[in-house]
Each structure stands twice: as C-alpha cells, then as structure tokens.
Chains A and B, each alone.
Chain A
Amino acid sequence: MNEKVLMKGNEAFGAAAIQAGCDLYFGYPITPQNELTEYMSRELGKAGGTFAQAESELAAINMAYGGACAGKKAMVSSASPGIALMQEGFSFIASAELPLVAVNVSRGGPGIGGIQPGQADYRQVTRGGGNGDYHIVVYAPYCIQEAVDLIIRAFDTADHYRNPVIVLADGMMGQMMEPVVIPQIRRQSSASEIAVEKPWALTGSGGVRDRNVVRSLWLDPQQLEDQNIRLDEKYQRMKQELPEYQSVDLEGAEIVFTAFGTVSRIASEAIRLLGQRGIRAGMIRPITLWPFPYHAFEQIDHSSTKLIVSAELSMGQMIEDVELAVKGRKPVRLIQRSGGMVFTPAELAARAEELLSQYQ
C-alpha cells in the first residue's frame, strides 16, 4: 500500500521510523518536534514497539542506550537544546559501538534560543559535543520524502556500523505538510535473530554463551588507545563509503550555492530567479553532513565559476567545511540569516547577485 498521503513532517518522521523497524522510542517534549513524540506515543505500540516518555533528554538518550545495548532498534528525537543534553550519551554510545538513530528538528540558538527553524546545530552534530574522538553520521534531508527515506536508511546505517546516526531536519520541515509515500516494510527482529545479528548484545546469556559486556571505560591507556584506533578504522571506512550529495547545474555556473535541508529548496528557487536575470547558478547539496562530501567540490566548473556561496540559517558553520573542500581555489562567501529568520528566494538571489558583482 504505497500510496501518497499528506503528512506533517514530524509525523512522517515517526511513520518512517516505525516502517524502518524501530523497536523502542524514547522522547521528551520540546518544540518544534512534539508531534513526532506524540505520534510515536500513539502509533509505535500498535506496531509492536514500545514508546516511553522519559523524564528528560538526559534520561531519554540513556534509555535508548539501554535498548541499544539489548540489541533493539532504538530511537530518540529532540530539538537543539535537547540534543545538547544528549551529547554525553552520543559519546558513550559511539564509544560502546552501539546503533542509535536520533532526529534533530533544529531551531534557533544558542541557549534556549527560539522555536523557529535554524541550521545552527551543524557544528554540534558534525563535530560532536561529547568528549573524545568519535563521529556521528549525519543525514540532512531537504524535503519530507527524503527525510522518510533517510530515516529508514539511518536505522540500517546505524546497525551496519554500530554507531549513532543523526537525521538533521529543521523546524520548518518538522512543521510543514507535504505528500509522502511511506513504504510499508516494517519488520522487527525476533530474539533469536537478534542473538545472531548482534552477538554482542545483552540478551541474557541463556547459559549457552559467556556473558556479554558493553563498556566505554578502558582504564589501561594502551587498551584505550587500541579502542580508539579500532573506532578510527571504522570512521575512515565510513568516510569512504558514506558521503552523499546532489549537484545541480554546475557546468557553466558563475555562482555555486552550497546548501542543505530547507535552504536548498530556497536556493533552487533563487537559482531560477538568477537565471531570469542572466546569471547562471548551480548548487551542491550535501546529503551527508558527516562525512561531508568534500569531493563534490571537485566537480566545480573552474572556467565559469567565480564564487561559491554557503547559504545557511546560522552565523556560518557549514562554510568551514566548504572552505576545506574548495582549498582556496575559489572565493567562498556566506549568505545567512539566524535566530529563526529565513531568507526568501528573492532575498537569497539578490544577495548572491550583489556578492557576485564583487568578483566580476
């Protein structure tokens, strides 16, 4: 029954997670993602999973850690300040090599910030706010359908690499409604399947195997170094296997926008407006923010491109990765709004045109 239905983003995210096979969801109310928590409270139980409202985001991430230790597909969701609270948990879960899916419906910050959309968690999710050397895979969908597809993939990615995966939506995507297809593919692994698929999981030894231990503490520094080297080998593999992006109209482009999420849709329209004014523009849209698709920038048409613009709803965070990718070969400039303010396509196009004039 793969029909198109009109759904609110937050609810579609929940529906996607359920179809992906989510066993356990732990949530705490925070705007602008409450409809996701509420949806899971209504629907996950009907699908054979378990929902719990935790007493805080601190508790939620730790409940998810427990569920993941036990071999289940566990999920949390929150918004920026709540994701900040979960950072200790992310570090712990990455260190213990457990799968987890987290949805961040991001809003303006810093601090309590605001409840309107923002992209100022870029650094938080890609650099990580927890301690130590670890990475989290970050998927940045640009529309609700892609969010559905990426959330389903996130569970597989998390299981495959035994690592947390964040899907970074933003407040606008969480709140808006679009037609989506939610593939009806849900299946949950049985206890015996989990014992085989995840032999490290805490399922009860059953008296047939030695007891399993999930840990992140290694007091012996040589053992901790060995653990870090092992984790890093995994992250290097992820950097090879995971980067994803979309590129549009790079050939002959004078301006190349770099944008993710909702901003990429604004940039698409801005590109059309610029085209009407005789300015050729293209876009690189990262789909994974970590690992960042640096190699996408090798596709830039050097003969035509004069300027690369990072368009962001923050004070400029992704621009650092763009600069790394461009390696000084072209100028990189920022067009941004923050605090929950969002530029219109016309505003983005006008500011891009003005910047371009500095490089003619």
Chain B
Amino acid sequence: MKPIFEYTKGMREQDTHYCPGCTHGIAHRLIMESLDERNALGDTIGVCPIGCSVTAHQYFNVDSCEAAHGRAPAVAAGIRRAWPEKYVFTYQGDGDLASIGAGEIVHAALRGEKFTTFFINNAIYGMTGGQMAPTTLLGQKTTTSVDGRKKEISGMPLRVAEMLSTIDGAVFVERVALDSPAHIRSAKKAIVKALDVQEKRLGFSFVEILSTCPTNWGMTPVKAQAWLRENMIPYYPLGNFRCPEEVK
C-alpha cells in the first residue's frame, strides 16, 4: 500500500494548544507542507509575532523567532537582509497586522520586501480573549464592542488585501479561506504561488487567510465555518488581487 498523505516534516510532532476548530492548525500545515515540498525547511526562517500563534515556533520545524506585537514585517526585513538567499515569512493575526502593525505591513509592501506574509484574519483578537479587531465585521459583538461594531465609532472593517494591492511593491496579493475543503485547496495553491514569488525575488507576497475563531465567536467549530462563509466572505471577497506574470 502506497501512502497518499503523510504528516509533513514541516510540522513538529507536538500537540498544538489551539482551540478545537481553530483553523491555525490547517494554515500551519499548508504553509509548512509547501516549504517541505520545495525542500526549503532547512533554509527558512519564520517570524511569529504576538497572537495565539506566537508560540508557533513549537510547531514549525524551521528556525523561528518571536516578534513584538505588529513588528513582524520589520523583524523579517532585518532577517531578509541578514540572509538574502533564505526563505523568510511572517505569520500574523489581524490584531497584529491590521492594528498595531499597520505601519510595518504597509512599509514592507512599499519596499517590496522579498518575504511572504501569511495573514490570519479571523475578525477578532483571539489570544487576549475576543476583543474587537480592525477586521471585526459591522454589528459583530466582541468583548470591546458588546453592542456590536458601530461604523460611527469604529469605522468600517479594514480590507487589508485590497489596501496592500494598491502598493506597487506588493506584487502578489491573494485572499483565501479555510472554511471548506475546496477553499483549503485554493489556499494551498495561493501559498505555493506566494512562495514561488519569494523564490524568484519578485517583491512582497501576501496571502490573507480567512479563518475561524470558534471560542471567541461563541460558536461551535462547524457553525464557525458557516459563519465565515456567510458573513466574512461577502465582505472580504476571495481571489487574487495582484499576481506577477512570472507565476501566473
């Protein structure tokens, strides 16, 4: 019997601490699998900033560092200049990237930094217990928006992929989701393309990954996937916003 699926060497054999139904597990595996498949695990350095996944270095089988909240793109910029030939990526949540790190991600895109950012957008702050994020949907209840997000107080949620796609240096920008097997397969394809863009040193590559947070959304994992599909995807449309010719 021939194995048709194996645990990727990119993931350490370690139970994760993530909540049941959290899609971090899927995102981790897709990214690490993609690096494994191109034999890059020994040549990759990952940056894990503040968020539920700050300790992803216990799961990623690559050299990794933590980063202060929002600063991962700056840290990655330093690592990229230290080792121009390695793979470098950041793995950031929406509080980290879209709130405190908004400046750093814009400037990484601006400079066309030759690393890849994986953006886990679950419309909430996970690690700290469910506060409102810049990506929280209108009307969505969180611990700091108990009556639901209001436009007049907090503005409309931030569409990061669209915003970054206006910056010349962000040569690959795609939004994917992890709510269904079909979408997960598309997410994998986008991740591979983003790494191809990095390998060819074409510019900054960015994959926004719509994800669930069942615990802080107050739903079961299955209901959370449905909520993502019914509420997040209409506001955060899936698809590619920018792609260089070389990897189309």
| Chain A residues at the B interface, C-beta cutoff of 8 Å | 23-24, 26, 50, 52, 54-56, 58-60, 62-72, 74, 88-89, 92, 96, 191, 202-208, 211-217, 219
Contact = CB atoms under 8 A, between A and B. Distances in A.
A89 B67 CA distance: 10
B39 to A, nearest CB: 9
B124 interface: no
Contact of A204 (B45, B61, B81): B45
Contacts of A65: 65, 67, 71, 75, 78
Contact of B79 (A54, A69, A213): A69
B107 A55 contact: yes
B194 interface: no
Nearest to A71: B82
A204 B77 contact: no
A26 B74 CA distance: 10
Contacts of B77: 52, 54, 59, 63, 66
A211 B42 CA distance: 8
B196 interface: no
B120 interface: no
A217 B65 CA distance: 10
Interface residues of B, number: 35
Contacts of A217: 54-55, 66
Contacts of B44: 204
Given A23-B82, A204-B42, A204-B44, A59 B76 contact: no
B79 A202 contact: yes
Contacts of B74: 54, 58-60, 62-63, 66
B60 A69 contact: no
B199 interface: no
A214 B65 CA distance: 4
Given A67-B81, A203-B83, A204-B45, A62 B67 contact: yes
A143 to B, nearest CB: 32
A221 to B, nearest CB: 16
Interface string B11-30: 00000000000000000000
Contacts of A72: 82
A66 B82 contact: yes
Residue from A202, A206, A208, A219 with most neighbouring chain B CB atoms (10 Å): A202
A26 B83 contact: no
29 contacts: A23-B82, A54-B77, A59-B71, A62-B68, A63-B74, A63-B77, A65-B75, A65-B78, A66-B47, A66-B67, A66-B77, A67-B78, A67-B79, A70-B45, A71-B82, A88-B68, A89-B68, A203-B63, A203-B83, A204-B45, A206-B42, A206-B43, A207-B41, A207-B42, A208-B42, A211-B60, A211-B63, A213-B58, A214-B64
A307 to B, nearest CB: 46
Given A55-B104, A58-B71, A202 B64 contact: yes
